[in-house]
Structure 1
Amino acid sequence: MGKDFLYRVLAQNIADKIYNGVLKANERLPSVRMLSKEHGISMNTAKRVFVALEALSLVYSKPQSGYFVNALNQHKLQLPQMPQMGLMKDGAEPDELISSVYANMGRHDLTLFSIGVPSGKLLPLAKLKKEILMATRELNGGGAEYESLQGNLKLRRMIAVRSMAWGGTLTAEDVITTNGCMHALSLCLMALTKPGDTIALESPCYPGILQLVLSLGLKVIELTCDPILGIDTHSLERLLPQIDACLLVPNFNTPLGYCMPDKNKMEVVRLLAKYKVPLIEDDTYGDIYFGRERPKCCKTFDEEGNVLWCGSVSKTLAPGYRVGWVAAGKYKDQILRLKLIHALSSTALIHEAVGNFLKTGRYDHHLHQLRKTLMENYQRYANVIAEFFPEGTRISRPQGGLALWVELPKSIDTIKLYNYGLKMNMSIAPGRMFTLQNQFQNCMRLCLGLPWTDELRFALVQLGNLAKMMLQVEQSDMTTQINEF
């Protein structure tokens, strides 16, 4: 039995015992050394078992004490169901809905479950202000001058250094800075496609990506996703003759939060290289993992320069700073030409400040606390959902990122739930935003990046009670019920 297969079997055996209640909440598990001895495996293989369980939030570790079973109610909740997807033919973009939801950005009178960024209360804002002041002293002209077309050198060097964490071998010369990750994705799509081409996306998919590809006149194939493993590589291979480019979020895709296994990433890279289909990889969420290790990227396995690896700090450090980048492989010159036309220069002051923040190690310190907070929030959300949401509710099991995908009973329309929720000062992201097909009407995405408070818990309980109410009363009575709630 191969080591890779063996650790998965052992992890699944322990997971089954947790799901079945054989192993109880907060019960101590065998040590890494004991597991190694009992099963005749190496210490490294034994550690991989616990890393896999930790990534699924089934266990947690205590320094000097070992691993324990998580006291989580989400194990009572089944995973979401993923319907089949196909080529988008009717241009059914949920434009009005998306505009309505994102119009709520910046509103402090709402509990914003709908906006997928960390709250400013979870960010090191005071330290970032100091970095900006320092950057004005260090840059020529105080940061008022244009920087080079390729971007701030300090930032590019730090992105290259950090690529070693996921097995990358980037240099500063491989990296081009952009004004956020969406700018990077836009440049990549413009470089690789023309109107009428077909692009493959994961589904459900981030609404901004859907709007971007349609604005460029592209056709879309939505790829069915397993809520734990992501896209099926066999299905992808069957579709590749129809595809001109592929855009994936393999690490903690929003809204499902899965992390594509390394062997699947490797196979995706191999298949796309074989069919000469470029891969745009959005790795915005790669640094906010719930396990012990930063996951590898598709770019890790790229030997032909066919993967355009994109990232940013918008979901981890400063959404409003608009700091992003792309390592475009063999398409670098095309991306630079487009940046010259569409941006010319990034914001030197901000990019210098972020580059220095990464260099000093403050970023990693911040990430450690942010990951801990997001994972704890996932556990708390799951507990409230298990207790207060309608029977039959399903949730994703994110292995990182900022999103929780919630599937309610079929009869609940989350667009209506969104409208009713606004009257109670909360905003959700209805599932219909995340697809161009007629599906996900009973689903929603909730943002985990909010500080956990009694007020937040109460809002989540209200949301669950509201969903229950929608099952019990007719539409004509709903307004009256809401007012009395």
Structure 2
Amino acid sequence: MESELLRYERLAEDLSGIISSGNLRPGERLPSIRRLSRDRRLSVSTVVQALRHLEQRGLIEARPQAGYFVRHVAPRRASPAARPTPVEPVPVDVSQRLIRVLLGGVQPGVAPLSAAMPASSLLPVAALQRLYSSVVRRHARLLEGHSHIHMDDPRLVRQLVLRSMGWAGPLAANEFVITNSCTEALGLCLRAVTRPGDTVAVESPGYYLMLQLLEVLGLRALEIPTDPHTGMSVEALDLATRQGNVTACLLVPNASNPLGSIMPDENKRRLARLTAERGVAVIEDDVYGDLYFGNERPWPVKAFDQTGNVMLCSSFSKCLSPALRVGFVAGGRYRAQLALHKTITSGATNPISQLVLAEYLESSACERHLRALRRTYERQVDAMRAAIARHFPAATRLTEPQGGFVLWIELPEEIDATALYERALAAGVAYVPGELFSASGMYRNCLRLNCGNPHTPEIEDAVRRLGRLIGG
């Protein structure tokens, strides 16, 4: 167990690094003692000891009733329920079926229960629109820049570094590549570390978009059993990687899609160590990381990465706006390859959107919004679970998500959710059949529902109609 002394020294070193890198500037306030204690999972006394150490070094100063502030910048330094065992890897072929399902879900008069999209009424759209107008007025020459040079806005990178303080320590600014979405980030990572025909370990059930990426890149999927509470089985991944035939591991450890599970810290630590030892690159989707239902933000696998082997991908599409089209990847030792692929394929992400996002993240409004949104999503998931209990067959089983806003439902074995889909769509209800979350077509008696919309009487009626169809 790490001693309190080592914990205080590590926190002091992390804060010193974030100051010396210029991401916390003279006169700026440090995170509060309570927030550091919560995010870093340290006692208040340990946090205070670290801050006093930095104060003695002349890096920060305490201001009565206001907190700790950066005093000066130190010299810059170098910035260092699933099957018990895996099956054979298989080619992926889900795109055409998935496109038909997603198009069906946006037809007029169809309840929005398929695509995992939040209701616009829950997002800070008006605030972002005001920022767009303000940024364009104040930075009239933003669109005159070169699209393949200076691609990452320094203010946005700085905010990402500051946010990573809550993930067990700040990531280095030079790790980040700003992308057009989390999807682009995932694709860049796969291109950087795989070649057509390679095998990639994925969660089972796992997010269908990841399967699509494997399909278009000519990669094979090796499905790893994934628990509704603890996520991908590290034991099964261990078995799957012993022969050296797996090139990468692609997963959503925090509020996974579709199960909503959060992998325990010890499992994340074991996964990071195992994959590093066996030369398996880890591509981590943390898009739901800020949408947890518990008291603490879950750390990503990246927090336990000691070798630069983990590439952390995310965006703000699920919590701020899908239309922003701004994501990022912290690429570890693969950063140079990621930046090269980004430069060649799409160039810089829209500079106006990057600056808008940076300014919103700088504001206190962002954290207030996220706190409220987490509570809202949790209520909506609970409401959907209650509705399913009222209207679906008694033998139905469903997950208890620990974050996010999707729900995975297992129907009685004899019910084929894929075969039922067209009838449900005709009745004005859409969902995503379970087989689309598996490269090998498993989970035909399962489906996923979106809980990203307020649970209105219309949503309740859609669940009732779907339950009646399922019950026959």
More displaced, 295-304 or 412-421?
Answer: 412-421
More displaced, 177-186 or 236-245?
Answer: 236-245
1:111 equivalent in structure 2:
111
Deviation at 1:284? 0.6
Query: 1:119 and 1:82 mapped to 2: Cα distance?
Result: 32
2:231 equivalent in structure 1:
230
Percent of aligned positions that are identical: 37
Deviation at 1:433? 0.9
2:380 equivalent in structure 1:
377
Query: 1:138 and 1:306 mapped to 2: Cα distance?
Result: 40
Does the 8 Å contact 2:82/2:225 carry over to 1? yes
2:248 equivalent in structure 1:
245
Please give the secondary structure, in 2, of the residue aligned with 1:103.
helix
Deviation at 1:228? 0.5
1:271 equivalent in structure 2:
274
1:472 equivalent in structure 2:
none
Please give the secondary structure, in 2, of the residue aligned with 1:223.
strand
Structure 1 position 99 matched with structure 2 position 99: yes
Does the 8 Å contact 1:135/1:142 carry over to 2? no
> Which sections of structure 2, spanning at least 5 residues, go unmatched?
1-41, 45-80
Does the 8 Å contact 2:89/2:199 carry over to 1? no
Please give the secondary structure, in 2, of the residue aligned with 1:176.
strand
Deviation at 1:291? 0.5
1:454 equivalent in structure 2:
457
Matches within 5 A, 1:65-80: none
Please give the secondary structure, in 2, of the residue aligned with 1:242.
coil
Query: 2:366 and 2:87 mapped to 1: Cα distance?
Result: 40
Question: Structure 2 length as normaliser, TM-score?
Answer: 0.80
Structure 1 position 430 matched with structure 2 position 430: no
Deviation at 1:259? 0.1
More displaced, 97-106 or 438-447?
Answer: 97-106
Query: 1:246 and 1:438 mapped to 2: Cα distance?
Result: 20
Aligned amino acid, residue 191 of structure 1: A
Taking structure 1 as reference, are residues 300 and 350 closer, same or farther at Cα in structure 2, changes over 3 Å only? Answer: same
Query: 1:426 and 1:361 mapped to 2: Cα distance?
Result: 39
Does the 8 Å contact 1:128/1:353 carry over to 2? yes
1:201 equivalent in structure 2:
202
Structure 1 position 348 matched with structure 2 position 351: yes
Structure 1 position 137 matched with structure 2 position 143: no
> Which sections of structure 1, spanning at least 5 residues, go unmatched?
1-41, 45-80, 470-485
Deviation at 1:109? 2.5
Query: 1:440 and 1:346 mapped to 2: Cα distance?
Result: 37
Deviation at 1:105? 5.8
Query: 1:280 and 1:168 mapped to 2: Cα distance?
Result: 19
Residue from 359, 362, 365 that aligns with 2:365: 362
Query: 1:106 and 1:468 mapped to 2: Cα distance?
Result: 25
Structure 1 position 127 matched with structure 2 position 127: yes
Aligned amino acid, residue 200 of structure 1: A
Aligned amino acid, residue 233 of structure 1: V
Does the 8 Å contact 1:259/1:399 carry over to 2? yes
Please give the secondary structure, in 2, of the residue aligned with 1:422.
helix
Does the 8 Å contact 2:92/2:215 carry over to 1? no
Residue from 276, 285, 291 that aligns with 2:288: 285
More displaced, 137-146 or 115-124?
Answer: 137-146
Deviation at 1:106? 4.7
1:405 equivalent in structure 2:
408
Deviation at 1:108? 4.5
Q: For each residue in 1:186-237, what CA deviation from the matched residue of structure 2 results, as whole angstroms up to 9, or x when unmatched?
A: 1111010111111101111111110111211111101001111112212211
Query: 1:255 and 1:130 mapped to 2: Cα distance?
Result: 34
Query: 1:360 and 1:282 mapped to 2: Cα distance?
Result: 25
Aligned amino acid, residue 130 of structure 1: R
Does the 8 Å contact 2:92/2:221 carry over to 1? no
Deviation at 1:183? 0.3
Aligned amino acid, residue 291 of structure 1: G
Aligned amino acid, residue 114 of structure 1: S
Taking structure 1 as reference, are residues 146 and 111 closer, same or farther at Cα in structure 2, changes over 3 Å only? Answer: farther
Query: 1:154 and 1:418 mapped to 2: Cα distance?
Result: 46
Does the 8 Å contact 2:413/2:445 carry over to 1? yes
Does the 8 Å contact 1:406/1:444 carry over to 2? yes
Query: 1:402 and 1:104 mapped to 2: Cα distance?
Result: 20
Deviation at 1:88? 3.5
Does the 8 Å contact 1:281/1:307 carry over to 2? yes
Deviation at 1:457? 1.1
Query: 1:108 and 1:177 mapped to 2: Cα distance?
Result: 35
More displaced, 147-156 or 231-240?
Answer: 147-156
More displaced, 411-420 or 431-440?
Answer: 411-420
Deviation at 1:97? 2.0
1:221 equivalent in structure 2:
222
Q: For each residue in 1:359-380, what CA deviation from the matched residue of structure 2 results, as whole angstroms up to 9, or x when unmatched?
A: 1122211111211111111111
1:180 equivalent in structure 2:
181
Please give the secondary structure, in 2, of the residue aligned with 1:465.
helix
1:316 equivalent in structure 2:
319
2:31 equivalent in structure 1:
none
Does the 8 Å contact 2:105/2:113 carry over to 1? no
Taking structure 1 as reference, are residues 95 and 343 closer, same or farther at Cα in structure 2, changes over 3 Å only? Answer: closer
Does the 8 Å contact 1:146/1:348 carry over to 2? no
Please give the secondary structure, in 1, of the residue aligned with 2:141.
helix
Deviation at 1:281? 0.8
1:441 equivalent in structure 2:
444
Aligned amino acid, residue 230 of structure 1: G
Q: Return structure 1 stretches of 4+ with deviation > 3 angstroms.
A: 104-108, 142-150
Does the 8 Å contact 2:200/2:222 carry over to 1? yes
